[in-house]
Structure 1
Amino acid sequence: MSLKEIPIFKGTRIQPYFKHIDFMFAGVFSIIFLVYRVYQLIQGYQSKYQTFEVAEVYYYFKPHFLYLVIGCLVIFIVAKLIAQLLFRFKEKDLAEMIETQGFHNRTVTQKRTEFLDIDIKKTEYDYYPTLFYKRGRKKFILHIKKDGSRFQDHYLELESIIEPMFNCELVEKKHIGRYLRYEFMPLKYKKRIVMNGQQKNNIVDYDTKIYITRQIVWDFVKAPHALITGITGGGKTYFLFYIIRELFRRKAEIRLLDPKVSDLSFMKRVIGADKVADTKGQILKQLREANEEMESRFRLMNESEAYKIGNDFRNFDLKPFFIVFDEVTAFTSTLDKKDLQEMNDYLINIIMKGRQAGVFMFLTAQRPDADVIKGNVRDQLGLRVSLGNLSSDGYRMTFGQTDKDFQPIHESDIGRGYITILGQYNDPVLFDAPLMEQYDFVEDVKQILNKKDD
């Protein structure tokens, strides 16, 4: 552990009285108002009277008493509303979370006053967690001490409480000495890409990075191949259109396989019938030709005198070659055992070997059955996305074994889901796919293809 990682300043330590911080905030302003007005009244009294007499002071202050009370009350209410609506003190929420979750030991003693016949309760905390909160520009950080208490297991999985509580997302979780550091980003800062026809459709040479959101970038060379899963109406098709559009901008060779003859088949009129397959024979032919393209690229690179260890397709001016296979699991149900084995052989070969040759597989499915996308193959898929609500088995088959507590996604949040990118987001993170409601995909692709031909 380096010195830079030692959390010297961890932020504000959460205290039990923080659950009343909005009252304290409002009370400070009320007291300031009261002190200021009393000071003004004293100044006025001294300018009017030369001597200090109790009766004169009483009659001078009496008409202002009700005004002071009402003024302090108004200031208190306004300041408390501001604290609740604008500042939204996370310190208060964290203190209340500790209280309601029971992460403490406390003793409540009851005492009777000597002069008044009333009982006074006094609370003393025998144990209270060491939790620090630090606000950032577009994030906030929590440090919690691993103190060996009976609550420590809960501290190790604190994101399951914090994420839905603050409508945020865990960005990083790191053990630093005796502390566990959580970094969260509020979802309001996750900028969604909106496709409205005004985006640049210029050609980009040798750019392998595609922006999924304003913050999330997929480099299809560093994290090759992809799997997109999701329920019907979850936004899977629009996300696929966006990726295809971005691949065309990068001069990629694209083959579209659409066994359901639905969303991608119409692209025959745009990119040519030879690049779109929607029957069993055509789909197996495209997979076989993609496999042959990969092998021929390997021969070209290995036989070249310019080849060096670590070179890939970009060093030989080869275009990325993408096979976009829509609803792959639906296609497998139509195959006999021989054809299924042939298809699986092509998929496995390309996914295992294709990155260096620039041949990539992009799969979509409503449910990624393990019979089609086996665990060892799924682990080689650099980009994995789920859109909409999936079952626990669906999430497991998409992302593998994970301790992620997936938040429910409302049916109106079309395009919202979870994403992992190899080497960047190894645990699923919540995201919003590009919004494409007011966007003409076909016309945009035609313009891109025309520019590519020029």
Structure 2
Amino acid sequence: MKKYFQREFHYDFLLLEFIIANNLYSEKNGLESAILSYEERSEEIVIYGVKYGDRFATKLETLETEMSALLNLPLTEKIIREGIVEYHFQTVKPERLVIETSTEMEKHTNKIEINLGYGIVYSPVECPHILVSGGTGSGKSVFISYLLLEFFKRKSTVYICDPKNSDLGSLSHYLGEEKVATSPNNIARVVRLAVTEMNDRYKYMNENFKYGSNAIDHGFQPVWLIFDEMGAFQASGTDKKSKEIVNEVMNGLKQIILLGRQANVFILIAAQQMRSETLSTDLRDNLGLRIALGANSSEGYRMVFGSATPETIPPIEVKGSGLLYKQGTGKSGEYYESPYVDMQKFDFIEELKKYI
């Protein structure tokens, strides 16, 4: 973990300086001032603005830009409560995960959690399904390749739908055409396989009922359906027959999103840009991990994160960086750097062969 650069002043002095510089005081009717306090924690500092219903109360809720500049620290969270506003600033920079060739001793793991680097550990059981958005050059393909290896490392069954027949579609040479689909009919077949597996698991678990159990307790390994460029697939519905196929696939995906968690069946949806017609907001909100890589517009972030879109977007300058939202944390989308892979030194196909 790395320390961010900080100005060498005591926080008491900084907050006093801040109140003066931002006109958060008045001397007209005696001295009136906004009240600021702070709490230093192991990896963050929290600035509190106390609201008394006076003329400073509204201003205290909109100071994130000024406070970030004052402290020279990134804001990770703003919490507005009835009588107080909390500004959380990170004082320790998380480390980006660097991917290198594994050894035979690291071939498989029984761990459910996946280390995504930058202080993020992801558990599909606790936070099912993934959405990854990012345009050309954002690092989206490298990130999905990393996740694919992690899925296989956990002995997952992986199905791939790639309507553009790009890099993921070419993996049929290694995974087999029965699990990798590029045409609409084959995509429908693959989705049907995943839905059938999910339903069979529910049937088995009902016949071998254990209160509070899930598929893991019954020995079922994860199933992952990776669906790249869903918008391109939906655009293939140009006549009655093809629209029926699109509708069947979308219905299957909906079943997995809503019911897959307990059966240990998950979906990863990837898109260059998310639109409401691509995936309804109700279904999007059921995708527990959402990542937008690369710089995006305010509307683009809103389509990925919805109500979890942060008010202030940090600079997205590093390739493979973006915003990440994980359900259950109580936080909005926060700055994130995806695992770094030097593709000149890392042979993805050779690595893949170790796990399949």
Q: TM-score, normalised by structure 1?
A: 0.70
Change in 2 beyond 3 A, CA 1:180/1:299: same
Q: Aligned partners of 2:63 and 2:7: how far apart in 1?
A: 25
| Residue of structure 1 aligned with 2:288, choices 382, 385, 389 | 382
**What whole-Å deviation, never above 9, does each CA across 1:116-167 have from its counterpart, x for those lacking one?**
xxxxxxxx98222211233333211212211222221232344344346524
| Residue of structure 2 aligned with 1:212, choices 113, 116, 130 | 116
2:64 aligns to what? 159
Change in 2 beyond 3 A, CA 1:204/1:216: same
| Residue of structure 1 aligned with 2:251, choices 338, 345, 348 | 345
1:248 aligns to what? 152
Mapping 1:196-211, distance limit 5 Å: 196-197=100-101, 201-205=106-110, 207-211=111-115
**What whole-Å deviation, never above 9, does each CA across 1:236-278 have from its counterpart, x for those lacking one?**
1111111111111111111111111112123223322322111
Pair 1:323-2:225 in alignment: yes
User: Which of the two has greater helix per residue?
Assistant: 1
Given that 1:171 and 1:185 are in contact with CA atoms closer than 8 Å, whether structure 2 keeps it comes out as no
Q: Aligned partners of 1:93 and 1:276: how far apart in 2?
A: 58
Given that 2:164 and 2:229 are in contact with CA atoms closer than 8 Å, whether structure 1 keeps it comes out as yes
Alignment RMSD, CA only? 2.5
Q: Aligned partners of 2:310 and 2:349: how far apart in 1?
A: 37
1:447 aligns to what? 354
Pair 1:147-2:49 in alignment: no
Identity of aligned residues (%): 28
Distance apart, 1:367 and its partner CA: 1.7
Given that 1:162 and 1:168 are in contact with CA atoms closer than 8 Å, whether structure 2 keeps it comes out as no
**What whole-Å deviation, never above 9, does each CA across 1:396-431 have from its counterpart, x for those lacking one?**
111112462242534x41111111111125411111
Change in 2 beyond 3 A, CA 1:195/1:164: farther
1:282 aligns to what? 186
**What whole-Å deviation, never above 9, does each CA across 1:323-370 have from its counterpart, x for those lacking one?**
011111122111233222112111111111111111111101122221
Q: Aligned partners of 1:353 and 1:241: how far apart in 2?
A: 26
- Secondary structure at the residue paired with 1:142? strand
Mapping 1:346-361, distance limit 5 Å: 346-361=252-267
Give the counterpart letter for 1:264 in structure 2.
Answer: L
1:234 aligns to what? 138
- Secondary structure at the residue paired with 1:183? strand
Given that 1:257 and 1:325 are in contact with CA atoms closer than 8 Å, whether structure 2 keeps it comes out as yes
Given that 1:169 and 1:430 are in contact with CA atoms closer than 8 Å, whether structure 2 keeps it comes out as no
1:180 aligns to what? 85
2:26 aligns to what? 105
Kindly indicate whether structure 1 or structure 2 has the higher relative contact order, using CA contacts under 8 Å at least 6 residues apart: 2
2:31 aligns to what? 126
Q: Aligned partners of 2:271 and 2:330: how far apart in 1?
A: 21
Distance apart, 1:448 and its partner CA: 2.9
Give the counterpart letter for 1:251 in structure 2.
Answer: K
Unaligned runs of 5+ in 1: 1-83, 108-123, 450-454
Distance apart, 1:95 and its partner CA: 4.0
Q: Aligned partners of 1:409 and 1:361: how far apart in 2?
A: 29
Q: Aligned partners of 2:6 and 2:200: how far apart in 1?
A: 63
Pair 1:292-2:196 in alignment: yes
Given that 2:68 and 2:75 are in contact with CA atoms closer than 8 Å, whether structure 1 keeps it comes out as yes
Give the counterpart letter for 2:149 in structure 1.
Answer: R
1:135 aligns to what? 40
Distance apart, 1:93 and its partner CA: 4.8
Given that 1:344 and 1:372 are in contact with CA atoms closer than 8 Å, whether structure 2 keeps it comes out as no
Pair 1:301-2:205 in alignment: yes
- Secondary structure at the residue paired with 1:400? helix
**What whole-Å deviation, never above 9, does each CA across 1:371-420 have from its counterpart, x for those lacking one?**
2211111111111111112212211111112462242534x411111111
2:96 aligns to what? 192
Q: Aligned partners of 1:399 and 1:95: how far apart in 2?
A: 36
Q: Aligned partners of 2:123 and 2:129: how far apart in 1?
A: 10
Q: Aligned partners of 2:6 and 2:79: how far apart in 1?
A: 29
Q: Aligned partners of 1:406 and 1:443: how far apart in 2?
A: 41
Q: Aligned partners of 2:21 and 2:311: how far apart in 1?
A: 20
- Secondary structure at the residue paired with 1:150? coil
Q: TM-score, normalised by structure 2?
A: 0.88
Change in 2 beyond 3 A, CA 1:228/1:403: closer
Distance apart, 1:181 and its partner CA: 3.5
1:332 aligns to what? 234
Distance apart, 1:214 and its partner CA: 4.6
Give the counterpart letter for 1:162 in structure 2.
Answer: M
- Secondary structure at the residue paired with 1:419? strand
Given that 1:416 and 1:430 are in contact with CA atoms closer than 8 Å, whether structure 2 keeps it comes out as yes
**What whole-Å deviation, never above 9, does each CA across 1:20-42 have from its counterpart, x for those lacking one?**
xxxxxxxxxxxxxxxxxxxxxxx
| Residue of structure 2 aligned with 1:392, choices 298, 306, 328 | 298
Give the counterpart letter for 1:100 in structure 2.
Answer: A
How many residues end up aligned between the 2 structures? 344
Give the counterpart letter for 1:222 in structure 2.
Answer: E
Q: Aligned partners of 2:9 and 2:245: how far apart in 1?
A: 60
Given that 1:325 and 1:361 are in contact with CA atoms closer than 8 Å, whether structure 2 keeps it comes out as yes
